[in-house]
Amino acid sequence: MKLVIASNNAHKVAEIKAILAPYFDEILSLRDAGITIDVVEDGDTFEANARKKAEEVLAVAAADAVLSDDSGLMVDALGGAPGVYSARYAGEGHDDAANNAKLLEAMQNVPDDARTCRFVSAIALARRGRETLVRLGKVEGMLLRAPRGTSGFGYDPLFYYVPAGKTFAELDASEKNLVSHRKRGLEAVRAALEEERA
């Protein structure tokens, strides 16, 4: 069984391989598989975007399955924003710093106890002749008023993970990967594959 991961992010590919290796003989990134495709992620949920990307890549891949994820930050005081627009919250072509600055501005008058948020990751596994599996992983946190830490990316410096007493950007990669939303989503997919095997 060959799996293509709909990403070229080396960290993401390594994390997925570590969790799903027992179920596939070969796991490749898009680049490894020789696939160049630009899927427009225009869904209004993480699940819709992950499913669309996995199914469109499977349509052109010489593989048995394709795995895709769509992730972002949901802030309760902003009605779930930035949500599916997390990567482009400050507009197309803007970077993490601009997204974080816009988020801090939107949250400047929100009291500390109302700054609850969560990272969400939807994982979709599209397979030939079978229904696409979609599972969610979430991790709860609090949004800080200023960034802390230099690891990670995106909103990690603002996302305070209470059990660790640190932001995601203050955790090293191995610590973050133990508790991340993507890891939780991947483990839910793994549990579904185990159920199918049973």
CA pair distance 46, 51, nearest whole angstrom? 9
Choosing from 64, 69, 70, 156, the catalytic residue is 70
How many whole angstroms separate alpha carbon 39 and alpha carbon 17?
Answer: 22
CB atoms within 10 A of CB 113: 7
In angstroms, the CA 89 to CA 157 distance is 16
Indicate the residue type of 60: V
Residue 83's identity, in one-letter code, is G
| Alpha-carbon gap, residue 122 to 34, rounded angstroms | 24
Separation between Cα atoms, residue 170 and residue 129, nearest integer Å: 43
Q: Examine the residue annotation and report whether 70 is marked as an active-site residue of this protein.
A: yes
Q: CB under 8 Å to 128, separation ≥6 — which residues?
A: 58, 64, 65
B/e letters for 145-164, b = 16+ CB within 10 Å, e = fewer, are eebebebbebbbbbbbbeee
User: Which residues are catalytic, by number?
Assistant: 70
